[in-house]
Copies of this chain bind each other. A is one copy, B any other.
Amino acid sequence: MSGRDDLDPPRSAVVAAVSLALAEDVLPMGDLTAMLIGADVVGVAYLRSRQAGVLAGTACAAEVCHQVDPELALDFECRDGADVAPGQTIATVTGPFRSLLTAERSLLNFCSHLSGIATLTRRYVDAARAVHPGIRVLDTRKTTPGLRALEKAAVRAGGGTNHRGNLSEGVLVKDNHLGHLSIEAAVDLAATRWPGRMIEVECDRLDQVERAAASGAGMILCDNMSPALVADAVAVARRVAGQRCLVEVSGEVSLETVASYAAAKPDFISVGALTHSAPILNLGLDLGIEG
């Protein structure tokens, strides 16, 4: 994974999120406890993992240090997407000891949250690919409010693939829309208005899959189907549209069931839990005094 080059979040997302996080942690008086220590003490700290997992959030960690105190120097020994082992040193921070203390929690909040997403993504990817090596695991729009760009990058770091970034990027016709216009009308209208975008249709039944594939949709979302029904849906989609129409599975997919869905050989399995329910990766900052 660590050979990929698409793992970094946009800098503007990093700068903005870190600025908000620090404001909520230090205003108005600053770090009362750190200020008990003399301003001239210099320290060193080692970011270490307490668990095995996949690293993400390094750009945020660097920005936290920079915004807390430009004199903090942060050197990473591995990058987003790297496997980390329990006890492994991930990075070294040196600088004013008080600034280290002030930066600690915000730095860890970003890295452990985002690494938690990367780690859970990796588990889904591994479980699915054990059965169907070509399958890809997608994230969703079920991200934490305000952190979408960072969480989408963490999914990539875990080997996952990003579904549409937001409502403006692609068309996903769901049952709620289909009460108002037919599959064919929706796909046709979307293709006319929004050329080049993902046009996906959510299907509950095989006849819908057939119609969606025939209408020119580029992707079909098999929602809440059984693995057996998914296998049928894949067959229908391939028969009607070949590789022109990809098949995504969603709903009721857990680490326990992901292999059985992967066995049905869809192109994608999307998992909201990657971003809405990932526990953190337990990281810690071991502080010391520069000798």
Contacts and interface: CB of A to CB of B under 8 A. Distances in A.
A164 B194 CA distance: 9
B12 A161 contact: no
Interface in A178-198: 179-181, 186, 189-190, 192-198
Nearest to A45: B176
Contact of A5 (B38, B176, B196, B276): B38
Contacts of A193: 6, 32, 35-36, 161
Interface string A224-264: 00000000000000000000101000000000000000000
Copies of this chain present: 6
A172 B13 CA distance: 22
Contacts of A136: 192, 195
B170 A196 contact: yes
A58 interface: no
B267 A166 contact: no
A165 interface: yes
Of A186, A278, A280, the most chain B CB neighbours within 10 A belong to A280
26 contacts: A5-B39, A6-B30, A6-B193, A10-B26, A13-B27, A26-B167, A27-B27, A28-B148, A28-B152, A28-B166, A29-B168, A30-B167, A32-B168, A32-B193, A32-B197, A33-B167, A36-B177, A36-B181, A36-B189, A36-B190, A97-B180, A113-B145, A161-B194, A164-B196, A165-B169, A196-B218
Nearest to A287: B176
Measured as residues with beta carbon below 8 angstroms from the partner, the interface class of chain A is 35 or more
Given A105-B142, A152-B29, A168-B29, A219 B195 contact: yes
Nearest to A277: B279
A153 B6 CA distance: 30
A17 interface: yes
